[in-house]
Structure 1
Amino acid sequence: MEPFKVAAKSDPNKVAGALANTIRGDNRETVELQAIGAGALNQAVKAVIIARGYLAPSGVDLLIAAAFKDIEVRGEDRTAIRLTVHTR
C-alpha cells in the first residue's frame, strides 16, 4: 500500500480518521505516512496522536518509527520523512 502523503496544509483530523479507519477496517498492523518539510511532519505527528485517541477505546495503541526516504517530486530529488505507524 502507498503511504499516506501528508502536507503542511493537511487537516490532521482527516488524516487521523483515514489512519484509524485503515487500521480498523483493513485489520492492518502498519500504516505509513510520508511528509516533506517541517510543517507536513507536524501535521503527520498530530494526526497519529489524534488517531491514538480514536483507537484507544478499542484497546489499540500506536507506535511510530521514523526514517528518511529519498524520493523524486516533479523531477527533483527530495528527502521525505516516512513515519511507519505500528499497532500494539
Structure 2
Amino acid sequence: MDIIKVSARSRSTAVAGAIAGVIRDSHYAEAQAIGASAVNQALKAVAIARGYLQEDGITIACVPLFTEVDIEGLERTAVKLAIWQVDRALLPPRLLQALAEALSHHPDDGE
C-alpha cells in the first residue's frame, strides 16, 4: 500500500481526493506528514475527504500515530494518519449526532 505523503505546500483538497479514492478502492489509507504545517494540511484533508465520502454514504475514522522515517540518512519523526472506512451501524449514537451537527454547521470542503 502506498502512503500519501503530505507537505506544508500540499493542497488539502488534492490530498482529500487521494484519500477518498484510496478509501473507495481499499477501505484503508495512510497519510504521512512531517512538521506542524504539513500535519495541519493532512488533518484538513481528512476532514475534507470525510465530506467527499459522505456523499457516497461512506464514513471514515482516523487515528494519528508517530512513526520514524529516514530522510536522506537522517531519522525524523513523522505523524502517520491511519484512515479507514467504518460501519455507521457500529458508531455510538452520540457520535452520529455530533457528526450530523457538524455537517449542518460547516461547509463540506475548503482550505
State TM-score, norm by structure 1.
Answer: 0.93
1:13-50 deviations in Å (ceiling 9; x for gaps): 000011111222x2x12100000010000000000000
Which residue of structure 1 aligns with residue 81 of structure 2? Answer: 83
Among the aligned pairs, what percent are the same residue? 45
Q: More helix per residue: 1 or 2?
A: 2
Deviation of 1:2 (Å): 2.2
Equivalenced residue count is 86
Q: More strand per residue: 1 or 2?
A: 1
- In structure 1, stretches of 5+ residues that fail to align are none
Once residues 2 and 67 of structure 2 are traced to their aligned partners in structure 1, the CA distance between those partners, rounded to angstroms, is 13
- In structure 2, stretches of 5+ residues that fail to align are 87-111
Which residue of structure 2 aligns with residue 62 of structure 1? Answer: 60
Give 4+ residue runs of structure 1 displaced > 2 Å after superposition: none
1:22 aligns with 2:22: yes
State which structure, 1 or 2, has the greater radius of gyration over its C-alpha atoms. Answer: 2
